[in-house]
Chain A
Amino acid sequence: MSNKVIQAMYNDDDVLMDAVKEVRAAHYHIDEVYTPFPVHGLDKAMGLKGTRIAITAFMYGCVGFSFAIWMMNYMMIEQWPQDIGGKPSMSFFLNMPAFIPIMFELSVFFAAHLMVITFYMRSRLWPFKEAENPDPRTTDDMFVMEVAVDGNEAELVSFLEKTGTVEIKVTEKH
């Protein structure tokens, strides 16, 4: 199977949206769309599944909450209970009101940082990572749709030309 893709470039988000819908309706396969800003509704139009990253954030938050409880219980109640200011640390539940601020902070800390790390890993973003947008203008004002070539290339090109594209390029995908 050839790895050829056609990169169709658009200069307007509304034209791009219509083009994406047309291409999907004609049963061509959209490999990727690169845009300079979040185009609302594009993911649905492309048929992308919803992201589950918010669910991971909730789970990470639960981890942080449990970690906070375990840590404070271990350090203040189990390992070395002390009588601070006439308030002895004998039971977790009697001391718990004082632990609430840190339980909250650690839940947020874990949820936020681990979610962001998950995002960076899943979207392959890290220092020294090479950018993969096909054209430098896609971070400025251009939108690129990559369509896989499957069968008649000329037919696909002429189809895409009718969708309002301003530039078309056929390249080999590495």
Chain B
Amino acid sequence: MSSHYEAPIRRPLIDGDKSYHDITVEVAAPVEGKANKLWWTAFAIALTAFLWGLGSIIYTIGTGIGVWGLNKTVGWAWDITNFVWWVGIGHAGTLISAVLLLFRQKWRMGINRSAEAMTIFSVVQAGLFPVIHMGRVWNAHFVLPIPNQFGTLWTNFNSPLLWDVFAISTYLSVSLVFWWTGLLPDFAMLRDRAVKPFQKKIYSLLSFGWSGRAKDWQRFEEVSLVLAGLATPLVLSVHTIVSFDFATSVIPGWHTTIFPPYFVAGAVFSGFAMVNTLLIIMRKVSNLEAYITLQHIELMNIVIMITGSIVGCAYITELFIAWYSGVEYEQYAFLNRATGPYWWAYLLMMSCNVFSPQFMWSKKLRQSITFSFIISIVVNVGMWFERFVIIVTSLHRDYLPSSWTMFSPTFVDIGIYVGTIGFFFVLFLLYARTFPVIAQAEVKSILKSSGENYKKLRDRNHE
């Protein structure tokens, strides 16, 4: 068993005395079993929220975006805040599946499937906002450079908003094929276990006839590696380009060169927090505590702590540069951000994003499941307010004091936002009941090196 050697200092990633067959059974269990009351309750709540959101979207499209709380000073508010928030959340999945693959981090195996699912579902939510903000959604295809009845009316490739179209659609589609390729062997496992003909049919269809030949696996691993290599710069480019939406403008408070790295760190920060929120619940409900272990949660908490501190550094750098630049507009934008009428939002952002992750320096706290769950929620509240602060406080006091104003959301703004949260959970809850939520084929490949029973066996042999 020398080929499965792993340093004894590494803690096991698969707890308990598992065999390959146990992994199959336990990963298939949530799909093969029946949904309990808790699932139906959660699904009903999410569906209600989604329908409310759908109603608000239909009302917006039917009446016009005048039904939102936007005014002539604050022309961008909750819509773009929600867009950036969801895109940010969508960063953890690819980071876990791609960056951690390149770094050969075995702990990604237990969580990558759900993290990628979360990525795809949240990018879907993000994509809704720019589309409905167009007002005339039936013209949404105008963002694509396609030949049209106007002959030479092309898109403007100088515009960061168009870069965003390309970045988000590339990101969504590449994440989707990355996810699906990894799913094929696991769908095949469900297919070969299925007893009901309908289930068998569905999983045969989804698994694309995966048979697990040696050559297929060789290509599979190569494809995963190359996709990881492509997705790594891609994931960094996506939030960089989202930040260009602001950074290439000339609004004080937006026009800063620190935005790309600052946004990417914030995105990873909020994404990992959302992964923690979802997986802490899922591992319990679906009995997957042996695969998504305390160590996984602890490692994610460390990532949250580091990225939270990077974000904190960015906040302080921004303040320093505003002062150091000597540009009074810039200085005012930041003074107003911290001490103006939106001081409460700034304070909330600072305490949730910079202060709260610092608790994770304590080993006891980062190993506490309840505490990790609370922090994961706090972080995402904070990250929503970060985007709100950047967007609204930079706009609401513009160059003309007579047009200074505040932003207050209408019930439609709130409805659409809550609706996307509902939509996200509808998708995730359906996923948790129908998809193999753990990349079981990959987990099996690390069982002998990182399984608790095999590690113990090896330690005994060495004594």
List chain A positions with a Cβ less than 8 A from chain B. Answer: 13-14, 32-43, 46, 48, 50-51, 53-54, 57, 61, 71-72, 75-76, 79-80, 82, 84-85, 87, 89, 95, 98-99, 101-102, 104-106, 108-109, 111-113, 115-116, 119-120, 122-133, 136-141
Q: Is the CB of A119 within 8 A of B158?
A: no
Q: How far is the CA of A127 from the CA of B208 in the complex (A)?
A: 5
- The answer to the question of B218 belonging to the interface, with a C-beta cut-off of 8 Å to chain A, is yes
Q: Is the CB of B177 within 8 A of A113?
A: yes
Among B24, B209, B241, the residue within 8 A (CB) of A126 is B209
Chain B 121-165, CB within 8 Å of chain A: the 1/0 string?
A: 000000000000000000000000100000010111110101100
Q: How far is the CA of A129 from the CA of B226 in the complex (A)?
A: 25
Given contacts A139-B189, A139-B192, contact A108 B223 (CB under 8 A): no
A-B contact pairs, 19 of them (CB 8 A): A33-B214, A36-B185, A37-B20, A37-B217, A53-B222, A53-B223, A85-B158, A102-B162, A104-B237, A109-B170, A109-B173, A112-B178, A116-B181, A123-B216, A123-B219, A131-B191, A131-B209, A140-B21, A140-B192
Q: Is the CB of B188 within 8 A of A131?
A: yes
Given contacts A37-B445, A101-B244, A108-B230, contact A122 B219 (CB under 8 A): yes
Given contacts A95-B158, A116-B223, contact A43 B188 (CB under 8 A): no
What's the nearest-Cβ distance from chain B to residue A78, in Å? 10
**What 3 A-B pairs are tightest by C-beta distance, nearest first?**
A129-B209, A141-B20, A136-B192
Among A54, A113, A120, the residue within 8 A (CB) of B226 is A54
Q: How far is the CA of A37 from the CA of B184 in the complex (A)?
A: 11
Q: Is the CB of A136 within 8 A of B209?
A: no
- Residue numbers in A under 8 Å from B155 (CB-CB): 75
Q: Is the CB of B217 within 8 A of A80?
A: no
Among B1, B205, B237, B441, the residue within 8 A (CB) of A37 is B441
Q: Is the CB of B214 within 8 A of A101?
A: no
What's the nearest-Cβ distance from chain A to residue B349, in Å? 28
Q: How far is the CA of A111 from the CA of B223 in the complex (A)?
A: 11
- The answer to the question of B167 belonging to the interface, with a C-beta cut-off of 8 Å to chain A, is yes
The secondary structure that dominates the B interface is: helix
- The answer to the question of B63 belonging to the interface, with a C-beta cut-off of 8 Å to chain A, is no
Q: Is the CB of A38 within 8 A of B441?
A: yes
List chain B positions with a Cβ less than 8 A from chain A. Answer: 1, 3, 19-21, 24, 145, 152, 154-158, 160, 162-163, 166-167, 170, 173-174, 177-178, 181, 184-185, 188-189, 191-193, 204-223, 225-227, 230-231, 233-234, 237, 241, 244, 440-442, 444-445, 448
Given contacts A123-B219, A128-B205, contact A140 B20 (CB under 8 A): yes
For A133, give the chain B residue with the smallest CB separation.
B211
Q: How far is the CA of A82 from the CA of B163 in the complex (A)?
A: 18
Q: How far is the CA of A48 from the CA of B214 in the complex (A)?
A: 9
For B192, give the chain A residue with the smallest CB separation.
A136
Given contacts A48-B218, A80-B152, contact A125 B208 (CB under 8 A): yes
Q: Is the CB of B166 within 8 A of A106?
A: yes
Q: How far is the CA of A105 from the CA of B166 in the complex (A)?
A: 7
For A95, give the chain B residue with the smallest CB separation.
B158
Given contacts A33-B214, A108-B170, A131-B211, contact A54 B154 (CB under 8 A): no
- Residue numbers in A under 8 Å from B206 (CB-CB): 127
Q: Is the CB of A34 within 8 A of B3?
A: no
Q: Is the CB of B177 within 8 A of A35?
A: no
Given contacts A128-B205, A131-B188, A141-B20, contact A72 B230 (CB under 8 A): no
Q: Is the CB of A79 within 8 A of B442?
A: no
